[in-house]
Amino acid sequence: MNTQDVEISSQELLLRLNDALASEGDGQQRLNQIAEIVSQSMGVDVCSIYLHRDPKTLELCATKGLNPEAVHVTRLRVNEGLVGRVSRLSEPVNSPDAPSEKGFRYMAETGEERYSSFLGVPIQRLGQTLGVLVVQTKDARKFHLSEVNTLAVVATVLAEMRETGIITGEGKALSALHTQPASYKGFVAHEGFAEGKVLLHEPRVVITNPVTDNPKKELKRLNGAIEELRGTVDYLLDSQTQHSISLEQREVLETYRMFANSSGWLTRMEGNIATGLSAEASVEKEQSEARARMEKSTDPYLKDRFHDLDDLFNRLLRILTGQGRHLKDDIPDNPILIARNIGPGELLEYGRNLEGIVLEEGSVGSHATIIARAMAIPLVIHVKGITTEALNDDVIFIDGENQSVHLRPDEFVAASIHNRIEMAETVRATYAKIRQLPARTLDGTNVRLYINAGLMAELPNLERSGAEGVGLFRTELRFLDTNRIPSREELANQYSTVLDSAKGKRVVFRTVDIGSDKMVPYLKREEEPNPAMGWRAIRISLDKPGLLQMQIQALIQGANGRPLNIMFPMVSSLEEFTQAKELCVRQISRLKRLGKVIPEHIEIGAMLETPSLAFAPNYFYQSADFLSIGGNDLKQFFFAADRQNERVRSRYHALHLSYLKFIEYICSRCNENNTKISYCGEDAGRPDIAICLAAMGVTSFSLRSASLGKVKHYLRQVDLKEIKSQINKAYAEGKVTFDEDIKLVLSKCKSSVT
Ligand code: PEP
Ligand code: MG
């Protein structure tokens, strides 16, 4: 048989399948027909369809040739037999002598001992293996590559059928996909419970026409879609818009362009159409195979490139089907966003409408996480597989207490979570009772508690939480939220509103901290090998002083005579601080000369986020009006462990005794020089860590407002002197962390206010 013949027969085979699928009958009858048609068309003795009943179990769901009694009886685990191997490795197995293959498992009830040759291909969709399609013959022969391809094409059609539910049914038949309850374990990046409906960040395309009788037309459609795709990518890269895209976006687009112009990619998809698949099914076949390869790759660079390719496939599918673009009215009530990953800018676009966020990737230290916390949205990360299982509008629960997510939960799971939501609310309500009380520890230390903020929507939290003010106002969030630089007027209005709502309480405005993972689209930048240690924060402000000058003017205008506190991010030396402070002072003098209202009291301070600043000369400590330890960054530089890299998360640990001793050293420098010190990293929101930091000498914290009541509640029950001596003892004994010790201390505290 030459390739031409096989292509024609594969096309005919698909058309026959299509007719069968369009005919009356239930899912089981359709499956039986598929097995029959494949065995006839390919001239084989057996065709069997195994589908996954659950991720670990395959079930014989239809067969032509094996004992029909075995259908829905024979089941095997993915680590059993050749069928299991195909599923486990997502790879075909082609053997002339199956019984001699390693791992072969004889299943007596099927009567398959008579068959020698075996060809099995995975039935897969979007990297998920849904089953295995097998053909067998009595005579020992190795199947031709074109036959392997034909079977793979049939498997693609089967995968689409499985997804759309037309080969599923009642009784013993398997139920439709995406209908059963599914639970996932993840990692909680922002605690809390949430109940809502799924909102997929990238809605999935459903293909209802996988087969074609007119390949010419499909080729034309595919080529048209590719042209459109190339056009969009070229336009984004080459037109005037190039100035408004960030380096990162540009890199992704370059990769897109490379793939979109690669002939191998296109040739394979055209080949799929020649075998009888529609344009969209042929794209999805390539996408599924690429995803299966991605799952096996451990190289993070390659994974990134695969993600780019996957995005490109999605774009192509959207062009071909017209599906998958969000309309405002598609957003369900109480949406819980499901995504592979998300950047801070995209998250801000969704805003506070979200009830919760579930990510397949994500990291605890990323700014998207910080924004989710700022918006008090429960966030679970590392939830593998959820983007391929969830459908828009599915009911979903986030259970932050148990680090889990429940998709389409049954009534018992739902009732148990409702119950715990109620209990958590009761405990939170008890914290409100201590809102007006000081955070005074048992040894008499008064700890001052402020909140972190950056979004206007967070301002009411100041009043609600009973905080003493805003210890960190992240001004850059306003810049991330838009694709143009906000005007001075707009900024001044924002700062004025912030001070209005603070009603005289202290507010510390941090000047823009952009760069690293907080990219703004309008800032042109060079590619950097390590952006977290690159051109960011105060470094950008000093090199491009226009932005900082404009911000200082806006701050003075917004303050309109009220006290003003300005803080510079990521300062790493005395010189940087001096330069930034001088720039500020010059602006203030200039505005004074112009007759503007200048606050009587202005404090200028710095974030302490680099270890170098801990060892700066005394003069630095004397010239800064205050310092705030940015633990998120300080930890990453102290431990040389990237805050966004989940692989090194355990090495990035605030209860590490070396870190606690380092904090003690910083506090001692501040005490000697009479410099006010506070701590505004995310760890301040955890009672165990806040207590240890306080024991080391930090007596002021700025934290997410949702955690303030809890942190205050525990601080009021501990003796910092005692804890400090325990920390020193543990350090002297050569212990590494203080985790267990502080856990024990907290276990003796009351968990709610009585
Ligand atoms: C920090 O680094 O601790 C901090 C508060 O700044 P950001 O998280 O915005 O980098
Ligand atoms: Mg920082």
Assigned architecture for domain 3-164: 2-Layer Sandwich (3.30)
Q: Is the CB of 366 under 6 A from ligand 1?
A: no
Q: How far is the CA of 483 from the centre of ligand 1 (A)?
A: 23
Q: What is the pLDDT of residue 249?
A: 57
Q: Which ligand is nearest to the CA of 473?
A: 1
pLDDT band at 247 (very low <50, low <70, confident <90, very high): low
For residue 629, which atom of ligand 1 is closest to its CA? 3
Q: By alpha-carbon position, which residue is closest to atom 1 of ligand 1?
A: 630
| pLDDT tens digits, one per residue of 111-164 | 877 889 999 999 998 878 999 999 999 999 899 998 999 999 999 999 988 888
Q: Provide the whole-model pTM.
A: 0.74
Q: Which ligand is nearest to the CA of 703?
A: 1
| pLDDT tens digits, one per residue of 599-613 | 999 999 999 999 999
Residues forming a β-bridge with 436: none
Q: How far is the CA of 235 from the centre of ligand 1 (A)?
A: 36
pLDDT band at 736 (very low <50, low <70, confident <90, very high): very high
| pLDDT tens digits, one per residue of 557-578 | 999 999 999 999 999 999 999 9
Fold of 215-321: Enzyme I; Chain A, domain 2 (1.10.274)
Q: What distance in Å separates the CA atoms of residue 98 and residue 105, rounded to the nearest whole number?
A: 9
CA angle 330, 335, 340 (to 5 degrees): 95
CATH homologous superfamily for the domain 442-747? Phosphoenolpyruvate-binding domains (3.20.20.60)
Instruction: Name the packing angle between helices 145-164 and 27-42 (round to 10°).
Output: 170
pLDDT at 373 over 90: no
Q: 3-class SS at 435?
A: coil
8-state DSSP, 408: S
- Supply the Cα-derived Rg of the chain in whole angstroms: 31
pLDDT band at 277 (very low <50, low <70, confident <90, very high): very high
pLDDT at 469 over 80: yes
Sequential DSSP letters for 369-401: HHHHHHTT--EEE--TTHHHH--TT-EEEEEGG
Q: Is the CB of 685 under 6 A from ligand 1?
A: no
What is the dihedral sign for C-alpha 555, 556, 561, 567? Answer: positive
Backbone angles phi, psi at 392, to 5 degrees: -50, 140
For residue 630, which atom of ligand 1 is closest to its CA? 3
Domain spans of the chain?
3-164, 182-204+327-425, 215-321, 442-747
**Lowest-confidence range among 231-245, 305-319, 388-402, 706-720?**
231-245
CATH 3.50.30.10 matches 182-204+327-425: yes
Q: What distance in Å separates the CA atoms of residue 152 and residue 47, rounded to the nearest whole number?
A: 13
Q: Is the CB of 205 under 6 A from ligand 1?
A: no
Residue from 366, 370, 677 to probe ligand 1 pocket by mutation (most atoms less than 8 Å from CB): 370
pLDDT at 5 over 50: no
Q: What is the pLDDT of residue 7?
A: 46
Q: Is the CB of 681 under 6 A from ligand 1?
A: yes
Q: Given strand 46-54, what is the order of strands in its sheet? A: 75-77, 57-64, 46-54, 128-137, 117-125, 93-95
As a whole-number percent, the residues of the chain with pLDDT over 90 amount to 60
